[in-house]
Structure 1
Amino acid sequence: MDQVLSSVRNGCRLLKMFLDSPKELGVTELSKKLQLSKGAVHKLLSTLESEGFIRQNEKTKQYTLGYTLLELGTKVLTNHDIVDFSKPYLTGLVSRVNELAVLCVQDAKDAIYVAKEDSLHPIRFTVESFRRFPLYSTSAARVLLAFQPESFQDEILAEHPLKTYTTHSYTSVADIKDNLRTIRERGYEISSNRRNAGVTGIAAPIFDSTGHVTASVSVIGPSDRVLPRQEEILADTLATVREMSAHLGYRLG
């Protein structure tokens, strides 16, 4: 049984290699990344290819993700009620603020943007959907982390060194912990330049019927447009998450 579980785990590890790598990977590169023999990697690839999870480029002889994963991902989104539930709210929010609005959820120790509505401005900020990133790295993610137990926060922030993205990114665990306490007290975050220079995010949490933070909504755009309107955008964002939370059964107090 342990041997079977080990094989499944290695297959999952192999698939995850494509998340932050080039479109195609070869056996040698995968072997080094996974610290497995080339023979073991080849067996994993052959098995995954037979089920459609991996496909080989006949010209380059390298491997890329297969269409079965796309089918499974589409099924996840179809079954993910929070995504369908959020669409009209995101659309309505964007119609008022005319900046990018995103829905962010936590998956294990990562954050993921699972839905978005883009701004209609010709010059606008956008994000890549369904890409994982650390729970401390964006306003939408930090709002999720702020409402987690402190022990979980410490586990997340134990990553050394912390990933940085700009000269304004957090580099101190203590600073992030202070910020998380402030978010929890205020119920929102306004953050500029920490993930992308010249970009501001305004984020707030969505609560479910048990009082658990199930997702967050963030409005993101160029700082020179967002900051002069931050009070207006914050009010619209807070009104949106309050309405969403109420529809999920959350009752304040």
Structure 2
Amino acid sequence: MDNYLSSVKNSCKLLKIFLNSPKELGVSELSRKLELSKGAVHKLLMTLESEGFIKQNPLNKQYSLGYTLLELGNKVLKNHNLVDFAKPYLQRLSEKTKELVCLCIIDGKDAIYVDKIDSKHPIRFNAEEYRRFPLYATSAARAILAFHDREFIDEVLADDLITFTPYSITESRMMQDRLEEIRKNGYEISSNLRNVGATGIAAPIFDAYGKVPASVSVIGPTDRMTPYQEQWVRELLQITREISQELGYREGR
């Protein structure tokens, strides 16, 4: 026996249509998309409108999402704990890669590792949780910085760049080029820039507003990471894509 209420399920489907559709839709268009009669769709709309989930434009009789959804969405964002939410995804990635997996967030002009799952290998790299470092310093940080606006990036790179290894990027122009490459690829791969002998692969997490508040990275010894680099990129992008979608991000919206 079906345990779902069909009317509730159809109401949810109706609301989700607006995620990838024009701002306003009419009964006929909704009827076609839902494969329901116009009468049934009209009843759904009337019910949703009565609770503020849908509103009608009195001029053209088209419907759009109501402000109750905005209130609920803001409530979700305020109650959202990214560390707890992302933990199962980090665990999945850790099980796949067997390497150090980190969740990194932006705080002002700094980056902070707020969660990690250590590698099980006896030879491994460590990341210190809650330690601040510049937004250009690691693959995880650059995967965040690359997707911010030009003015903010210029502010971050205005001062002399700190050198961590003989291979660190020390010129702002070179770092700008690096960030441009990250934006184009959608992820960052770096070796030796922060720790000699270490390779980091990182990808951004997008929120419902298309902003990048965080990233996920996989870090390990270069000789162990290199043979699996392409595979780990695919696994990482799948994880960050899922997290972003759960946060309400819709690509191209």
Q: Same fold (TM over 0.5)?
A: yes
In structure 1, what is the equivalent of residue 97 of structure 2? 97
Offset of 1:209 from its aligned partner? 1.1
Q: TM-score, normalised by structure 1?
A: 0.67
Offset of 1:227 from its aligned partner? 1.0
Query: Which structure has the greater CA radius of gyration?
Result: 2
In structure 2, what is the equivalent of residue 190 of structure 1? 189
The size of the alignment, in residue pairs, is 174
Offset of 1:81 from its aligned partner? 0.3
Distance 2:157 2:213 in 1: 20
1:90-239 alignment to 2 at 5 Å?
90-160=90-160, 162-239=161-238
Gaps of 5+ in 1: 1-78
Q: For residues 186-223 of structure 1, give each alpha carbon's deviation from its aligned partner in whole angstroms, at most 9, with x where no partner exists.
A: 11010000000000000000011111112100000000
Residues 148 and 211 of structure 2 are in contact (CA less than 8 Å); yes or no, is this contact kept in structure 1?
Answer: no
Q: TM-score, normalised by structure 2?
A: 0.67
Offset of 1:229 from its aligned partner? 0.7
Q: For residues 81-130 of structure 1, give each alpha carbon's deviation from its aligned partner in whole angstroms, at most 9, with x where no partner exists.
A: 00111111101100000000000000001000000011111111111000
In structure 2, what is the equivalent of residue 29 of structure 1? none
Structure 2 residue matching 1:112: 3-state secondary structure: strand
Structure 2 residue matching 1:237: 3-state secondary structure: helix
Distance 2:107 2:207 in 1: 16
Distance 1:164 1:81 in 2: 33
Which residue type is aligned with residue 173 of structure 1? Answer: S
Q: CA RMSD in A?
A: 1.0
Displaced runs of 4+ in structure 1, greater than 3 A?
none
Distance 2:118 2:239 in 1: 16
Distance 1:155 1:130 in 2: 23
Distance 2:80 2:245 in 1: 19
Which residue type is aligned with residue 228 of structure 1? Answer: P
Which residue type is aligned with residue 222 of structure 1? Answer: P
1:35-50 alignment to 2 at 5 Å?
none
Structure 2 residue matching 1:115: 3-state secondary structure: strand
Distance 2:80 2:172 in 1: 33
Which residue type is aligned with residue 122 of structure 2? Answer: P
Identity, % of aligned pairs?
A: 58
Structure 2 residue matching 1:213: 3-state secondary structure: coil
Offset of 1:252 from its aligned partner? 1.5
Structure 1 residue matching 2:88: 3-state secondary structure: helix
Offset of 1:80 from its aligned partner? 6.7
Gaps of 5+ in 2: 1-78
Distance 1:80 1:116 in 2: 19
Distance 2:245 2:156 in 1: 29
In structure 1, what is the equivalent of residue 239 of structure 2? 240
Which residue type is aligned with residue 218 of structure 1? Answer: S
Distance 1:232 1:82, change over 3 A: same
Offset of 1:224 from its aligned partner? 0.4
Q: For residues 118-173 of structure 1, give each alpha carbon's deviation from its aligned partner in whole angstroms, at most 9, with x where no partner exists.
A: 1111111111000000000000001111011111111111112x101111100111
